[in-house]
Structure 1
Amino acid sequence: MNEYKMLFDYHTHTTFSHGKGSIEDNVKEAVKKGLKAIAITDHGPGHMTYGIKREDVPVMRAEIERLKPLYPQIEIYLGVEANIIDTGNNLDVTSEEIPQYDFILAGYHFGIRECYSAANFMYSHGIGTGAKRTAFLKERNTKMVVKAIEENNIKILTHPGDKAPVNMAEVAKACAKRGVLMELNMKHPHLTVDEIKIAAKEDVKFIISSDAHISERVGTFEAALKRAVDAGLDLNRIVNIQKV
């Protein structure tokens, strides 16, 4: 994979949620890796354990504005990895809060209210994995994810298929219709090779993200790119990878 480079990394975390490094730590690593842009996208405020505090969003924005003139060689964005839920606008970031961010990522996580967290957690740990139960969970999760895509201006759907089984074809159709990028995640194994093959049948584009929770992981992409290659994906459909 040495013949490719990552252009930008739009999914990174900091100490404002579940990460170990500061915003500046992530920016420094992105500069070191030669990236053209980075986004700080901490977990949405609905997460009961490590969501961002709503009052910290202006603090994060101020820090990014402070850093921009110090690192003019890179674009720095403030986003959020909103949690997909099954109420309201289907995100734990409200429609009124969305303008605080440069763009929105959305993904499914445990530890959120009103997203069938307990049922999906048990399923992911091998409890209740029969055919009927699988079909039921897939249908319910798919409706929840698709509604989140349809009702919001989401830039990236993070690690689709992780933690909650879905009908990947239906999710990919929704992403294609709304222009949402489907993520190949470095921290999680989703999209898997098989999921990439299913999603690629739709007119959808992909993005590789480090999902870095420590700054040293910012800008990593090789394992996710290998999954794309193994799936036979046309790598021109990955928007942030370029052949050297």
Structure 2
Amino acid sequence: MYKNYKIDLHIHTNVNPHAFSTLEENIKAASKKGMKVIAITNHGPALPDSPHWWHLANIAILPEVIEGVRVLKGVEANILDENAKLDINQNVYERMEIILAGFHTVDGYEETRDIVKNTNAILNLIKSQKADIIVHLGNPIFPVDYEKIVKAAKENNVALEINNTSLGTLTRVGSRKNCKKMLELAKKEGCYIVLGSDSHYSDHIGEFTNAIKLIEEVGYPEELILNSSVENLENFLKLRKGLRPKEINS
């Protein structure tokens, strides 16, 4: 039923040293796999092995299309508090074509099992319209109220990610049950979702095997999956551009 998706909106390069491929290696791999669109989304500076904000902002110098692949300029920002504060500044914010955001254990927002705090942080971020996609929400070390989050995502036209890496056996173990619950609620509400490889190595770009199994179980509508077509993605990005506030710290 589901396609061999050729859009991947969650990819890291080795400027985050816990990733292992350069920008050029990622693009060459994406081109070889026939990817239509990729987003380079390195971590924001709150993580200890992230680049200076100059690097994140300077991604704007890249051409739109490299080796036949549309390369979106993006970032995976870190949530720093309950009030929608992210770890990117105005310079980075203005240059990003796509902004992912999610929980990591960072100074300002350490791991917490406080479901009320975590839920409020995501709800406030969604309502602020500063992030286009909320990533890896299945992570059991940051529990949230999925019903409230899905409703807010629908109302504010923010997409929710099904992170393929989270559904494996090494990272954010225990996410699958939570992701399935979120997907079932999102299907009822009619939310946008996106499959993300969360690639930290070039050969993993476009790897959605685990995520596709999950959307097959739920029977998620193809038209609400941003990876399903370039047209769907472009319409979403155009919508999001009109919704974002002008200032990241507003």
Same fold per TM (> 0.5)? Answer: yes
Shift of 1:202: 1.7
Return closer, same or farther for 1:159/1:37 CA change in 2, 3 Å cut-off.
same
Give the Cα–Cα distance (whole angstroms) in 1 for the partners of residues 138 and 119 of structure 2. 10
Contact 2:20 2:201 in 1 (8 A): yes
Partner of 1:40: 40
Structure 1 residue corresponding to 2:79, chosen from 54, 71, 84: 84
- Given the superposition, is the C-alpha separation of residues 69 and 141 from structure 1 closer, same or farther in structure 2, using an over 3 Å criterion? closer
The runs of 5 or more residues in structure 2 that have no matched partner are 168-174, 230-250
The offset of 1:114, in angstroms, is 1.9
Deviation at 1:138, TM superposition (A): 1.1
2:150/2:189 contact within 8 Å kept: yes
- CA shift digits 1:177-221 (9 cap, x unpaired): 221111111111346222211232223111111100001100111
Task: State the 1:54 CA deviation.
Answer: 1.1
Residue 113 in 1 paired to residue 104 in 2? no
Q: Which amino acid aligns with 2:122?
A: V
**Counterpart residue number, 2:195:** 208
| TM value normalised by structure 1 | 0.81
Rg (Cα) greater in structure = 1
Partner of 1:50: 49
Contact 1:89–1:95 (Cα < 8 Å) also in 2: no
Task: Give the AA of the match of 1:27.
Answer: I
CA shift digits 1:86-143 (9 cap, x unpaired)? 1664211134531021121111111x1222x14x2xx5xxxxxxxxxxxxx1111000
SS at match of 2:215: helix
Question: Which aligned segments of 4 or more residues in structure 1 are displaced greater than 3 angstroms?
Answer: 58-62, 94-97
* Deviation of the 1:149 alpha carbon: 1.5
- Which position in structure 1 is the counterpart of 2:124? 147
Following superposition, the deviation at residue 59 of structure 1 comes to: 4.4
Q: Which residue of 2 aligns with 1:241?
A: 228
> What residue is the counterpart of 1:19 in the other structure?
19
The one-letter code matched in structure 2 to 1:24 is E
Asked if the contact 1:90–1:147 (Cα under 8 Å) also holds between the matched residues in 2, the reply is no
What residue number does 1:130 align with? none
Contact 1:82 1:106 in 2 (8 A): yes
Give, in whole Å, the separation in 1 of the partners of 2:215 and 2:12: 24
Kindly provide the CA deviation profile for residues 137-180 of structure 1, in whole angstroms up to 9, marking residues without a partner as x. 11110001111121133221111131310001111112112211
Q: How does 1:54-69 map to 2 (within 5 A)?
A: 54-62=53-61, 64-65=62-63
Q: Percent identity?
A: 28
Report what 1:4 is aligned to.
Answer: 3
Looking at structure 1, the residues matched to 163 and 65 of structure 2 have their Cα atoms a distance apart, in angstroms, of 30
Root-mean-square deviation (CA, aligned residues, Å) is 2.1
What pairs with 1:196-235 in structure 2 (closer than 5 Å)?
196-235=183-222
Equivalent of 1:159 in 130, 136, 153: 136
Residues 91-130 of structure 1 correspond to what in structure 2 (within 5 A)?
A: 91-110=86-105, 112-115=106-109, 117-118=110-111, 120=112, 123=113
- C-alpha distance in 1, partners of 2:89/2:22? 25
1:237, distance to aligned residue in structure 2 (A): 2.2
Equivalence for 1:126: none
Matched, 1:187 2:165: yes
Mark the CA change 1:77 to 1:91 in structure 2 (over 3 Å): closer, same or farther. same
User: CA contact under 8 A between 1:228 and 1:235: conserved in structure 2?
Assistant: no
> What SS is found at the alignment partner of 1:21?
coil
Deviates more, 1:174-183 or 1:146-155: 146-155
Distance 1:157 1:166 in 2: 13
